Amino acid sequence: MPDDLSIDNIAGIGPVTKQKLHDGGILNIMDLATRNISDIADLIGGDSEKASDFITKARSYLMEKGVLSKDFMSATELYKIRKSIERISTGARNLDGLFEGGIETGAITEFYGEFGSGKTQICHTMSVVVQMPKDKGGLDGSTIYIDTENTFRPERIAQIAENRGLDPLKVMERIIVARAYNSSHQELLLKAIGKYIENEGVRLVIVDSVTSHYRSDFPGRGTLAERQQRLNGFMHQLLRTAEMYNIAVVVTNQVQSSPDSFFGDPTKPVGGHVVAHMSTYRVYLRKSGKARVARMVDSPYMAEREVVFIVSEKGIEDAPEDKKK
Ligand SMILES: Nc1ncnc2c1ncn2[C@@H]1O[C@H](COP(=O)(O)OP(=O)(O)OP(=O)(O)O)[C@@H](O)[C@H]1O
Ligand SMILES: [Mg+2]
């Protein structure tokens, strides 16, 4: 991270504008570069041309400092960047295999599936595993856990930590939980995470679930367009945050359950193409007796295949018959 991320480095931002941005939670260039034009325009009095100019300058500044990749680059450069991607184990070796070793930093990974399919269990397990050293599948990092359904349980974290040989109290210390009470609040929380990411050594951001509030805040066909637009804004900002800080982002999503749903198919994830396009990896989860089956969907370079895992006192892990192999 470059030392000087002060807004003062952006030409055209004087003390008054700086104060306005500051009041809106834009504390440095990273914050500026992750926001939407309309967010910034709202803060500085509605001038979206100016807002766009500031964001472009912030991005250029970060490109010069090597934080952001350039707009145009050779495949060799891109290959080098991809090699700098780090991975976090999901806690189950088989599931890691879908991602060639674990979920990637700099990307959004989406887990979707019906109730009880293990989405929240994966989130709990990963917020423990990410704290482990690199040779044990972690990144020695902390987690920000945005909980929209009130299903985060510290007791479960303690259980997983203990069963993985870690000190539960220390592990809980490094998971920062934020309860989102509606979709607007969920958006506000995302805007505020920049300073935690830097100060607390965060390497994983979880949003469990990313769509539920949008679904209940914007019910029915009449509000579908607005719902998709807001969700799009949220996903965009998540992706920019993942790229800029080189952190992993995990989101969960439900499947359509009502027969009169807009998209028809009851095994389709909520949010339609908006969530699909922003997620780099999408994994579909389903129950199969006691086991859980995961399938990578629409991967940019990995073939579609299925793996099995179980939910246990360790969070999630390989099925016993797979561990013997
Ligand atoms: N301590 C535990 N030990 C073993 N299995 C557990 C434990 N805790 C939860 N489970 C299993 O995990 C399941 C719940 O999975 P999870 O909460 O991840 O579902 P989900 O996909 O997040 O569902 P929803 O869509 O309702 O949020 C339970 O049905 C139970 O079978
Ligand atoms: Mg859940």
What pLDDT score was predicted for residue 277?
81
CA–CA distance, 196 with 245 (Å, rounded to integer)? 11
Lowest mean pLDDT among 1-15, 203-217, 262-276, 296-310: 262-276
Nearest ligand 1 atom to the CA of 124 is 18
Residues 99 and 57 reside in one and the same domain: no
Nearest ligand 1 atom to the CA of 290 is 31
> Is 283 part of any domain?
yes
pLDDT band at 202 (very low <50, low <70, confident <90, very high): very high
Residues 266 and 140 reside in one and the same domain: yes
- Is the preceding omega at residue 117 within 30 degrees of 0, hence cis? no
- pLDDT > 60? residue 260: no
Taking 3-state DSSP, the helix, strand and coil percentages for the chain, each rounded to the nearest 5, stand at 45, 20, 35
Domain range holding 216? 85-323
CATH number where 216 lies: 3.40.50.300
Q: Is 311 in the pocket of ligand 1 (CB under 6 A)?
A: yes
Confirm if 202 and 170 have CB atoms less than 8 A apart: no
For residue 38, the CA-to-ligand 2 centroid distance in Å is 32
Check residues 275 and 265 and name the one with the higher pLDDT.
275
Residues 43 and 177 reside in one and the same domain: no
SS3 label, residue 47: coil
Q: Is 313 in the pocket of ligand 1 (CB under 6 A)?
A: yes
> Is 60 part of any domain?
yes
Confirm if 54 and 40 have CB atoms less than 8 A apart: yes
The whole-chain average pLDDT of the chain stands at: 90
> Is 69 part of any domain?
no
> Is 80 part of any domain?
no
For residue 114, the CA-to-ligand 1 centroid distance in Å is 11
Residues 51 and 133 reside in one and the same domain: no
Residue with CA closest to ligand 1 atom 29: 116
CATH number where 39 lies: 1.10.150.20
Q: Which ligand gives the minimal distance to the CA of 156?
A: 1
Check residues 277 and 204 and name the one with the higher pLDDT.
204
pLDDT band at 150 (very low <50, low <70, confident <90, very high): very high
Residues 157 and 213 reside in one and the same domain: yes
pLDDT tens digits, 22-55: 999 899 999 999 888 999 999 999 999 999 999 9
The residues near 7 (Cβ < 8 Å, ≥ 6 apart) are: 13, 18, 21, 22, 26, 27, 28, 29, 32
> Is 2 part of any domain?
no
Q: Which ligand gives the minimal distance to the CA of 147?
A: 2
For residue 315, the CA-to-ligand 2 centroid distance in Å is 13
- pLDDT > 90? residue 220: no
Nearest ligand 1 atom to the CA of 118 is 18
Lowest mean pLDDT among 130-134, 161-165, 285-289: 285-289
**Which among 110, 111, 121, 284 is the best mutation to test ligand 1's pocket, defined by most ligand atoms within 8 Å of the CB?**
121
End-to-end Cα separation, the chain, in angstroms:
42
- Identity of the highest mean pLDDT range in 159-173, 191-205, 282-296: 159-173
What pLDDT score was predicted for residue 266?
62
Residues 89 and 32 reside in one and the same domain: no
Q: Is 254 in the pocket of ligand 1 (CB under 6 A)?
A: yes
Q: Give me the mean pLDDT over the 93-118 stretch.
A: 94
Which residues, by Cβ under 5 Å, contact ligand 2, an ion?
119-120, 151
What pLDDT score was predicted for residue 1?
58
DSSP state of 261: -
Residues 235 and 284 reside in one and the same domain: yes
Residues 129 and 181 reside in one and the same domain: yes
pLDDT band at 258 (very low <50, low <70, confident <90, very high): low
Total domains in the chain come to: 2
Q: Give me the mean pLDDT over the 142-168 stretch.
A: 98
Please state the φ and ψ torsions of residue 86, each to the nearest 5 degrees: -110, 165
For residue 323, the CA-to-ligand 2 centroid distance in Å is 26
Lowest mean pLDDT among 24-28, 62-66, 190-194, 264-268: 264-268
For residue 126, the CA-to-ligand 2 centroid distance in Å is 14
pLDDT band at 77 (very low <50, low <70, confident <90, very high): confident
- Identity of the highest mean pLDDT range in 127-131, 237-241, 255-259: 127-131
> Is 279 part of any domain?
yes
The residues near 23 (Cβ < 8 Å, ≥ 6 apart) are: 43
pLDDT tens digits, 8-18: 999 999 999 99
Lowest mean pLDDT among 4-8, 112-116, 267-271, 314-318: 267-271
pTM of the complete model: 0.88
Nearest ligand 1 atom to the CA of 311 is 5
Can you point out the beta strands (E) in the chain? Answer: 87-88, 103-104, 108-113, 142-147, 175-179, 202-208, 248-253, 281-288, 291-297, 306-312, 315-317
Q: Which ligand gives the minimal distance to the CA of 114?
A: 1
Residues 31 and 132 reside in one and the same domain: no
Residues 262 and 123 reside in one and the same domain: yes
CA–CA distance, 217 with 46 (Å, rounded to integer)? 26
Q: Is 119 in the pocket of ligand 1 (CB under 6 A)?
A: yes
Residues 43 and 154 reside in one and the same domain: no
Lowest mean pLDDT among 115-124, 129-138, 238-247: 238-247
- Cα 309–Cα 312–Cα 317 angle in degrees, nearest 5: 35
For the chain, the residue count is 325
> Is 76 part of any domain?
no
Q: At what angle do helices 224-245 and 183-191 cross, to 10 degrees?
A: 20
CA–CA distance, 230 with 222 (Å, rounded to integer)? 14
Q: Give me the mean pLDDT over the 279-305 stretch.
A: 85
pLDDT band at 299 (very low <50, low <70, confident <90, very high): low
Residues 258 and 307 reside in one and the same domain: yes
- pLDDT > 60? residue 274: yes
> Is 73 part of any domain?
no
- pLDDT > 70? residue 262: no
